[in-house]
Homo-oligomer: A and B are copies of this chain.
Amino acid sequence: MVCEILCVGTELLLGDIVNTDGAFIAREMAAMGFSSYHQTTVGDNPGRLREALRLALSRSDVVIMTGGLGPTCDDITKNAAAEAFGRKLIFDEATREDIARFFEKIGRPMTENNLSQCWIPEGAAVFYNKWGTAPGIGIEGEIDGEKKYAVLLPGPPAECEPMFMECAKPWLARLSGDVIRSKNLHLYGIGESAAEAILRPLMESSVNPTVAPYACEHEVRIRVTARAGSVEEAERMCAETAAKIRETDVGPTVYAETDDPFSAKNAMVTTLISELRRRGWTFATAESCTAGMIGSSVGDIPGASDVFAGGIISYANEVKENVLGVPREVLKTVGAVSEPCAAAMAEGARRVCGSDIAVSVTGIAGPGGGTPEKPVGTVCFGVSTAAGTYTETRHFNGKNDRAKIRRLTTAHAMYLAIRTMRGEI
């Protein structure tokens, strides 16, 4: 089946917001096995929206529309969809009650114009909105003798994304009478093309579950997506394929498995935190070139305070020396970007913060500061535990920009902490 995403919003045409809904839905639809050949964005204009929807329904089986659902935009998306499918709008009392409950929960009065949101195309499925007021809608019907489907979702990503996952996805999966489940395998230290070369036979022979690699900045993600008659069956199929992947040569590079988007996006840091929790350990950082990015990434995760003691941002050499206790000799002889300095930083952070494990990074993020011996992208790492201190030097590609080198450094430092706890280094 072919799907198409049609986003509605003048703010998208003006570039005031980036269209993250489109990418999110595209990815989920691809994982469910839908093909996609077009994405379109139009503004809050009924005529152009009607025309864009007509074109989309003429060339695709399923059209997912986002935005244009609220009273401030005259509900143009709902009106256009009702018209395309030849449906009247009818007042839905259950929707009114649901919206009234939402306002009660947030303690604000429901205004008159919210009532427009209770008018629903006849025979459509209503997706109640736990994250806002505009309900989502699923419509199926015949247009010019062909079966067509439209899904309408609110524009704000904080409503669109969970409503897609909780409402639209099961509704769409039901089209084939199936449920869909996914699992991600997270690979570190292997490139996308190398992973793809190894997994190519499995990818080609796997129709259900599908196996698809995605290159992320610091890792490769392999997404396994199964379609089955029950959740249990789909999960079993995902697990089976994940086990097969682990048996290939990519196996040793798999550092985590995730099955929800938040964990997938934050796999490295959530893995770090779960390894710390498993041991009842606390974590500390000593950061030079990342300047707090490792600590901040750990702090992104709710409840990180269980395991995160704190850290030292030792940008200036004086802080390395005075707070972390890096010997002046080290700074004077081999310099701040050196394994002896990284070792002393990690040991210092562990001592000063009183943690069980500490990581350190010191390097040259660029664009300035590189030398022939230590070009931009050179980073030294340290990991200190009661058992001793490990150090290594990495040479990230100096052609990357400063921000990317710092993000790669952050991921690698966490990876080294994970491997240390797992006894792999």
Task: Show the binding face of A for B, using Cβ within 8 Å.
Answer: 12-20, 22-30, 36-43, 45, 48, 52, 106, 158, 214-215, 282, 285, 287, 289-296, 298-300, 302-305, 308-316, 318-319, 322-323, 352-354, 365-368, 399, 401-403, 406
- Verify A43–B37 contact, CB threshold 8 A: yes
Q: Cα distance A13–B15 when bound, in Å?
A: 19
B contact residues around A302 at 8 Å (CB): 366-368, 402
- Verify B309–A312 contact, CB threshold 8 A: no
B contact residues around A40 at 8 Å (CB): 38-41
- Verify B19–A15 contact, CB threshold 8 A: no
- Verify B16–A12 contact, CB threshold 8 A: no
Q: A39-B12, A39-B40, A299-B290 are in contact. Are A310 and B305 (CB under 8 A)?
A: no
Q: Cα distance A18–B157 when bound, in Å?
A: 13
Q: A37-B43, A293-B292, A406-B299 are in contact. Are A322 and B19 (CB under 8 A)?
A: no
- A-side binding surface: helix, strand, loop or mixed? mixed
A-B contact pairs, 18 of them (CB 8 A): A12-B39, A16-B214, A17-B23, A38-B40, A40-B41, A106-B399, A285-B292, A287-B295, A291-B292, A295-B295, A300-B403, A302-B366, A310-B313, A311-B313, A312-B313, A313-B313, A318-B354, A322-B352
- Verify B41–A316 contact, CB threshold 8 A: no
B contact residues around A319 at 8 Å (CB): 309-310, 352-354
Q: Which of A26, A30, A300, A402 has the most CB of B within 10 A?
A: A26
- Verify B15–A27 contact, CB threshold 8 A: yes
- Which residue of chain B has its CB nearest to the CB of A13? B36
- Verify A316–B310 contact, CB threshold 8 A: yes
Within the complex, what minimum Cβ distance (angstroms) separates A189 from chain B?
21
Q: Cα distance A296–B322 when bound, in Å?
A: 21
Among B14, B27, B295, B323, the residue within 8 A (CB) of A14 is B27
- Verify B289–A299 contact, CB threshold 8 A: yes
B contact residues around A311 at 8 Å (CB): 292, 312-313, 315
Q: Cα distance A399–B102 when bound, in Å?
A: 13
Q: Which of A22, A28, A367, A402 has the most CB of B within 10 A?
A: A22
B contact residues around A285 at 8 Å (CB): 292, 313
